[in-house]
Amino acid sequence: MKTVTILGATGSVGTSTLDLVEREPDRFRVVALTANCDVDRLAAAAIRTEAELAVVADARCLPALADALAGTTTRVAGGADAVCDAARGADWVMGAIVGCAGLKPTMAAIEHGATVVLANKEPLVSAGEIILAAASASGATLLPADSEHNAIFQCLDAARLDSVRRIILTASGGPFRDWSTEDMRLVTPAQAVAHPNWSMGAKISVDSATMMNKGLELIEAARLFPVPADRIEVVLHRQSVIHSMVDYIDGSMLAQLGPSDMRVPIAHTLAYPERMATPMAPLDLVAVGRLDFEACDPVRFPALRLARAALEAGGARPAILNAANEVAVAAFLAGRIGFLEIAAIVEDTLLRYAPAAPASLDDVLAVDAEARRLAGERVEDGVV
């Protein structure tokens, strides 16, 4: 029996994880489920899985959670520290909180020494070195759930990194992959969250539309698989059938293919090193018919260029990029700024702020806070 905790259990990745866990009650037992404040969904999932503990990060939502779970065996708690405590209790922990809010809970799970599954990519971007050092100190096993990184992990299995020539991340290009910059100027949040191939939370859907998601994934790949940045490439692959590839020095290129459903990479991490069945229909290659590859356009999608520059410069740059992007995406979703201003605010924040490289988690959190403040100023000004 594997004990399981899901951080961010009510979101897109959290719900996919629950779906798999609930299919095999003899194999998985739920210890804790957390959410920000989605009390109804959290309580319903806790009741279905007979979770030991349900936690809301926003303590104001705790009374409603306590009401919803009154008379059950599930204990309840609220607040950011309670989320970190909940991260410490299971063999297998899914990190599916959105944004840098997941950083401390992820660190708590890693310090506990569990198997920690990283869907939540923003902490890896902002504090990658610190997270990896904590994992090697505690002996925690890190497994990537992001579909591209899970694909690379599967293609790298048992291989030596010095025999890798290139890592090739595939990108769907998002809903605006064929749009001109001028046409992208007026896109609405509803258009930006309508991804052609994947169903995901709002923030990552906007990141896919700006291609900042691929930029964050470039940095994520460099953290997880230590090959030089110039050997990690991005290729547009609009079918999202190949989830990423590894090119070896002998000329072999390995790819992982599968349906565009996060339950496939999540199942890989949930059963690892075994395999488990998933409910998806097998990939029908004849129906897929063809696989196309194109170069990405860094002019129409400046976020990708900014992320690569941040990765190459290192230090605090990835944390600034990520924090400014989180602020800008939230402002776009709230209707306060236009779509093209997202990358413009990120670039502006990177230009205005050049702190020393963070050496500790507190340093990263300080950089994150200041970058958010600066990006927030630009949102207020409405001038970039």
Residue 100's binding partner among Mg ion, ligand NAD, none (Cβ under 5 to 8 angstroms by kind) is none
Under the binding rule (CB under 6 A), the answer on residue 98 touching ligand NAD is yes
Of the candidates 206, 196, 277, 199, the one whose C-alpha atom is nearest the C-alpha of residue 239 is 196
Which parts of the chain fold into alpha helices (H)? 12-23, 39-49, 62-68, 80-86, 103-112, 122-138, 147-156, 181-184, 189-192, 202-210, 212-224, 263-271, 285-288, 302-313, 317-333, 340-352, 361-381
| Bridge partners of residue 32, in order along the sequence | 5, 53
Under the binding rule (CB under 6 A), the answer on residue 197 touching ligand NAD is no
Q: Which residue has the tokens 């260029």?
A: 305
Q: How far is the CB of 331 from ligand NAD (least distance, A)?
A: 16
Q: How far is the CB of 15 from ligand NAD (least distance, A)?
A: 8
Applying CB under 5 A, which part among 19-27, 71-79, 110-118, 141-149 lies near Mg ion? Answer: 141-149
Q: Residue 150 annotated as binding? A: no
The one among 5, 10, 172, 325 contacting ligand NAD by CB under 6 A: 10
DSSP state of 57: S
Q: How far is the CB of 226 from ligand NAD (least distance, A)?
A: 21
Residues 218-247 that bind ligand NAD (CB under 6 A): none
Nearer to ligand NAD, 244 or 384 (CB): 244
Q: Residue 252 annotated as binding? A: no
Nearer to ligand NAD, 98 or 164 (CB): 98
Cα of 151 vs its chain's centroid, Å: 14
The one among 38, 146, 220, 341 contacting Mg ion by CB under 5 A: 146
Residues 13-42 that bind ligand NAD (CB under 6 A): 13-14, 35-36, 38
Residue 245's binding partner among Mg ion, ligand NAD, none (Cβ under 5 to 8 angstroms by kind) is none
CB neighbours of 169 closer than 8 A, spacing ≥ 6?
148, 152, 214, 217, 218, 221, 232, 233, 234, 235, 244
Residue 301 to residue 309: CA distance in whole angstroms: 14
Nearer to ligand NAD, 99 or 358 (CB): 99
Q: Residue 10 annotated as binding? A: yes
Q: How far is the CB of 261 from Mg ion (least distance, A)?
A: 12
Cα of 116 vs its chain's centroid, Å: 13
3 state DSSP class of 25: coil
What burial class does residue 298 get, using C-beta atoms within 10 Å of its C-beta: 0-12 exposed, 13-18 middle, 19+ buried? Answer: middle
Under the binding rule (CB under 6 A), the answer on residue 116 touching ligand NAD is no
Residue 178 to residue 197: CA distance in whole angstroms: 15
Q: Residue 268 annotated as binding? A: no
Binding site for ligand NAD (CB under 6 A): 8-14, 35-36, 38, 57, 83, 96-98, 101, 119-122, 146, 198, 200-201, 203-204, 262
- Residue ranges of the annotated binding site for Mn(2+) are 146, 148, 217
Binding site for Mg ion (CB under 5 A): 146-148
- Residue ranges of the annotated binding site for NADPH are 10-13, 120, 122, 201
